Chains A and B, each alone.
Chain A
Amino acid sequence: GDSVTQMEGPVTLSEEAFLTINCTYTATGYPSLFWYVQYPGEGLQLLLKATKADDKGSNKGFEATYRKETTSFHLEKGSVQVSDSAVYFCALSPPGSYIPTFGRGTSLIVHP
């Protein structure tokens, strides 16, 4: 079945550091790919998405590129802020399915 693997956390960075959170997936066909973010005490919210190979999703300084050849969708940000501290979930949705598959989440802690 479909699966999403993301790096275990927590990832601890200083403010203004470069961020990468790795995400790889296994799926048949061409799924849509997502990053969701969960701030403390809140539910998940969509951060960015990509629906086909080589698409780049971006939002709030975060970016991720849909790489079909490596089945990856790594999340990057050039300069993190304390306010980026949250849990980040990678997810996929197969074509024609309403049910996404989520990774286990990666906690990001940014220190001043």
Chain B
Amino acid sequence: DVKVTQSSRYLVKRTGEKVFLECVQDMDHENMFWYRQDPGLGLRLIYFSYDVKMKEKGDIPEGYSVSREKKERFSLILESASTNQTSMYLCASSSQGTDTNIQYFGAGTRLSVL
């Protein structure tokens, strides 16, 4: 089974802190994604990556950056956390081979910015 692991289930940070959310997948998937999930808004794509060192902006990239130095790891960075970034963050991965459109998700990181 594909496993997508997010480093933290819960995080509490202060306004202005730099925050790192880590995601690792073990199925050699080329594509990786970061979403945020808010009540009533569903999933919104922040950034995605289709190869090592490659990244593309999603629908809401402002205030975020990403890093993909290794194929299995995709990091989301909040350069200066703000209270409106309090949310659930979901990482996902998918293959560019068969079943390219199926996404595999981690359990999520619930971030609170105080």
Q: Which residues of A contact B (CB under 8 A)?
A: 32, 34, 36, 41-46, 49, 89, 93, 97-100, 102-105
Contacts and interface: CB of A to CB of B under 8 A. Distances in A.
A100 B101 contact: yes
B83 interface: no
B107 A41 contact: yes
A44 B90 contact: yes
A93 B101 contact: yes
Interface centre among B4, B41, B101, B106, by most A CB within 10 Å?
Answer: B101
B105 A44 contact: yes
Given A98-B50, A104-B41, A46 B31 contact: no
B108 A43 contact: yes
Interface size class of B (residues with CB under 8 A): 20 to 34
22 contacts: A34-B102, A42-B107, A43-B92, A43-B105, A43-B106, A43-B107, A43-B108, A44-B43, A44-B92, A46-B103, A49-B102, A93-B101, A97-B101, A98-B96, A98-B101, A99-B45, A100-B101, A100-B103, A102-B43, A104-B40, A104-B42, A105-B43
A46 B102 contact: yes
A42 B108 contact: yes
A98 B102 CA distance: 9
A98 B90 contact: no
A102 B92 CA distance: 13
Nearest to A45: B105
A75 B110 CA distance: 28
A98 B103 CA distance: 9
A34 B101 CA distance: 9
A28 to B, nearest CB: 16
B83 to A, nearest CB: 23
Contacts of B108: 42-43
A99 B45 CA distance: 9
B102 to A, nearest CB: 6
| Pairs A-B, 10 closest by C-beta atoms | A43-B105, A104-B42, A93-B101, A44-B105, A102-B43, A43-B107, A32-B101, A98-B31, A43-B106, A105-B42
